[in-house]
Structure 1
Amino acid sequence: MSVVSSTPLAAAAELKLLARSIPRRVFDRASGTLGFRIGVSLFLILALAAIFYPEISGIDPTKMDIRARLLPPVFLGPNWSWAHPLGTDQIGRDMLVRSLVGLRYSFLIGVASVAVTLAIGCALGTVAGYYGGRTDTVIMRITDAQLSIPMIILAISVLGVSRPTIPAIILVLGLSNWPVYARIMRSVVMTERRSEYVRAAQVGGSTDLRIILMLLVPLLLPPILFTSVLDVARMMIFESILGFLGLGVQPPTPTFGNIIADGRKYLLNAWWIATMPGVFLGLTLTSINLVGASLERARNSIHGGEA
Structure 2
Amino acid sequence: MTSIDTMAAPKLSKAESRSISSRIWRMAFASTEFKIGLAVFAILMLAAALYPELSGIDPTKMNIRAKMTPPLFMGEGWDWAHPLGTDQLGRDMLARVLVGLRYSILIGVTTTVLMLAVGALIGLVAGYYGKSVDTVLMRLTDAQLSIPMIILAITILGVSRPTIPSIIIVLGLAGWPVYARVMRSTIMAERKKEYVRGAMVLGATDFRIMVLLLLPLVLPPMAFVAVLDVARMMIFESVLGFLGLGVQPPTPTFGNIIADGRKYLLNAWWVATMPGVFLCLTLTSINLMGASLERARNKVYGGA
TM-score under structure 1 length normalisation: 0.95
Provide, for residues 175-214 of structure 1, a one-character-per-residue CA deviation record: whole Å limited to 9, x for no partner: 1110000000000000000010000000000000000011
Provide, for residues 217-269 of structure 1, a one-character-per-residue CA deviation record: whole Å limited to 9, x for no partner: 10011101100000000000000000000000000000000000000000000
Structure 2 counterpart of 1:95, which letter? Answer: M
1:84-163 correspondence runs (5 A) = 84-163=82-161
Aligned-partner Cα distance in 2 for 1:41–1:86: 22
Aligned-partner Cα distance in 2 for 1:115–1:50: 21
Partner residue in 2 for 1:224: 222
Would the aligned equivalents of 1:106 and 1:240 in 2 still touch at CA under 8 Å? yes
For the pair 1:169 / 2:190, whether they are aligned, the reply is no
1:191-270 correspondence runs (5 A) = 191-270=189-268
Q: Secondary structure at the match of 2:135?
A: helix
Partner residue in 1 for 2:177: 179
Pairing partner for 1:73 from 68, 71, 74: 71
Aligned-partner Cα distance in 2 for 1:91–1:191: 59
Q: Secondary structure at the match of 1:75?
A: helix
Q: Percent identity?
A: 69
Aligned-partner Cα distance in 2 for 1:265–1:259: 11
Q: Secondary structure at the match of 2:266?
A: coil
Provide, for residues 103-146 of structure 1, a one-character-per-residue CA deviation record: whole Å limited to 9, x for no partner: 00000000000111011100000100000000000011011111
Partner residue in 2 for 1:299: 297
Would the aligned equivalents of 2:112 and 2:226 in 1 still touch at CA under 8 Å? yes
Provide, for residues 62-108 of structure 1, a one-character-per-residue CA deviation record: whole Å limited to 9, x for no partner: 00001110000000031100100000000000000000000000000
Would the aligned equivalents of 2:254 and 2:279 in 1 still touch at CA under 8 Å? yes
Q: CA RMSD in A?
A: 0.8
Structure 1 counterpart of 2:231, which letter? Answer: A
Aligned-partner Cα distance in 2 for 1:293–1:83: 38
Aligned residues: 294
Would the aligned equivalents of 1:42 and 1:287 in 2 still touch at CA under 8 Å? yes
Question: CA distance change for structure 1 residues 229 and 37 in 2, over 3 Å: closer, same or farther?
Answer: same
Would the aligned equivalents of 2:27 and 2:296 in 1 still touch at CA under 8 Å? yes
Aligned-partner Cα distance in 2 for 1:164–1:195: 46
Partner residue in 1 for 2:40: 42
Aligned-partner Cα distance in 2 for 1:20–1:217: 11
Partner residue in 2 for 1:9: none
Give ranges in structure 2 of 5+ residues lacking alignment: 1-10
Aligned-partner Cα distance in 1 for 2:105–2:66: 29
- Where does structure 1 differ by over 2 angstroms across 4 or more consecutive aligned residues? 17-20
Aligned-partner Cα distance in 1 for 2:134–2:12: 23
Give the deviation of 1:18 after TM superposition: 3.4
Deviates more, 1:250-259 or 1:73-82: 73-82
Would the aligned equivalents of 2:108 and 2:230 in 1 still touch at CA under 8 Å? yes
Give the deviation of 1:2 after TM superposition: 5.5
Aligned-partner Cα distance in 1 for 2:247–2:125: 34
TM-score under structure 2 length normalisation: 0.96
Structure 2 counterpart of 1:248, which letter? Answer: G
